Structure 1
């Protein structure tokens, strides 16, 4: 005999759970705590099985019967609903563990860290992930399609961050390729988005290119009052041609005072190649002064509050602002343009030697290795000439 709604409401909990049958395998189980759960009893291969259909009154009598009828049709076709439900739960659990965010973090922490990528590169990768997380971070990586991927990139683009949008797309592409290689997805939905993004505008770092103005800047650095390590960083930066991030992440163990060489590991270089920097007499004197302050362990230019982290990427630029130089006047990265321009204008040095000093990569690895050896002696002389030239400008001597 089938149940009625009034009967269901009237069922009271007992000392133990008990059942009340409806029809065609559907029944209601009443528990001592008062809860009432719908279940369906069915047979697969002669074996009795049961599956829960939800709790009353959230699942009404009519809804429970409809669910029962749908399940019985699937059972008649040879399906085991309980087994299907277990498989679906397992799949959902796996998908939840394979979200874009989880795969991206695995890519960063396992692959990128394992490959020895520079800390600055890791920080940028984590930043790109933070930008993408609100839109696709929670989604199973296999479910992300091109339109879903395009939405956060277009938001960045709308804010004027074209370069960031481009780099986020590139980062996401690497994550999807890693996901495909490890069996978490099958395609890279960013592959067809290249043409959908606006081309980033060329970025030029502000730099002082006139010798007289460079001399003024060097004198301003001498007169600038700040934290001693910051002051020495400002003094060293014009003499060497490394990128600001490479300078900030430099460690004392990379400096050979006897040979006057700073060897930067490949993991810290943009071109992923070890880069040797010849050090002039002036730079060695500044580093010796700095070593007496820091103790010569860990980072050459440590952060203000802890020696376990490098100097902030904003320290030198912030110092320029305090000295009265705007972001359109000079930047930390601008010292590279300054050196490149004035060294080339001097006519004293081979252009390839200058390029090698700036660690601009050569697409031909064999040629790059050959050039590094070929121009080393010239680079050593050029480094000393450049430091002497800066001293002359600082002293107000006329530039030739």
Structure 2
């Protein structure tokens, strides 16, 4: 199609009557094609202006496609910058939320969630992963141990370690955790001679009481079986 002003191009008529206009040009010995618009969505004046802009760029030694590539590269860089800023704002709570659905073992689920929401998230949940270090965790561990809650301190240490070790092998969190902030020597914080188990044995009276409770539970379960089978039938 030629309109008499030097505009020429490849024209495709679509079912709805739209005419797409393209223009071919040569730059550095290579033939290229540029999309000028679609009539009547774009007026002929707009299409002609775009054609003249392309001709002007070629005459000044500038590849029109190069401008598009530069714009695309800029948009890509801006998107990467946005993603990088988002990563910088990821908190321990964000990591915990993903770990809870993807890394937490089902058998530990309910207890782990209850414990972490009670002890771990209030401590470091809002801390950015980039800023996370062992100071807050170590301080909390020392406080629990000083209160005689060594078992709670050990569980806090264990769950924090699970979340962070899981995060160290997942992107983008891996880039935010150069080292594991929970790599604390917990044994140095515990009282000398501390054992995570009890050595006390039951007295004969306690053993008899425990046995009676087991028997009561067993009898109740046995009596409940016929009723359960009847309801199932």
Structure 2 residue 182 is matched with structure 1 residue 190: yes
CA shift digits 1:296-331 (9 cap, x unpaired): 99xxxxxxxxxxxxxxxxxxxxxxxxxxxxxxxxxx
| TM superposition shift of 1:107 | 1.6
1-structure distance, mates of 2:225, 2:129: 48
Note the 1:1-400 alignment, pairs <5 A. 87=81, 90-96=83-89, 98-113=90-105, 117-118=106-107, 121-130=108-117, 131-183=119-171, 184=173, 185-199=177-191, 200-204=194-198, 208-210=202-204, 214-215=207-208, 221=213, 235-236=216-217, 287-292=221-226
CA shift digits 1:245-301 (9 cap, x unpaired): xxxxxxxxxxxxxxxxxxxxxxxxxxxxxxxxxxxxxx5x6543233455699xxxx
Report the CA distance shift for 1:85/1:202 in structure 2 as closer, same or farther (over 3 A): closer
1-structure distance, mates of 2:206, 2:142: 41
Report the CA distance shift for 1:286/1:128 in structure 2 as closer, same or farther (over 3 A): closer
Residues 162, 201 of structure 1: 8 Å contact kept: no
Residues 177, 188 of structure 1: 8 Å contact kept: yes
2-structure distance, mates of 1:112, 1:296: 39
Structure number with the higher helix fraction is 2
Structure 1 residue runs of 5 or longer lacking an equivalent are: 1-79, 222-232, 237-282, 298-400
| TM superposition shift of 1:165 | 1.0
How many residues align? The count is 149
CA shift digits 1:329-378 (9 cap, x unpaired): xxxxxxxxxxxxxxxxxxxxxxxxxxxxxxxxxxxxxxxxxxxxxxxxxx
Structure 2 residue runs of 5 or longer lacking an equivalent are: 1-73
Secondary structure at the residue paired with 1:190? coil
1-structure distance, mates of 2:230, 2:155: 36
1-structure distance, mates of 2:202, 2:229: 33
2-structure distance, mates of 1:290, 1:94: 56
1-structure distance, mates of 2:120, 2:127: 11
Q: Which has the larger Rg?
A: 2
Report the CA distance shift for 1:288/1:202 in structure 2 as closer, same or farther (over 3 A): same
Superposition RMSD in Å: 3.6
1-structure distance, mates of 2:112, 2:210: 34
Report the CA distance shift for 1:296/1:169 in structure 2 as closer, same or farther (over 3 A): farther
Segment drifting more, 168-177 vs 103-112:
103-112
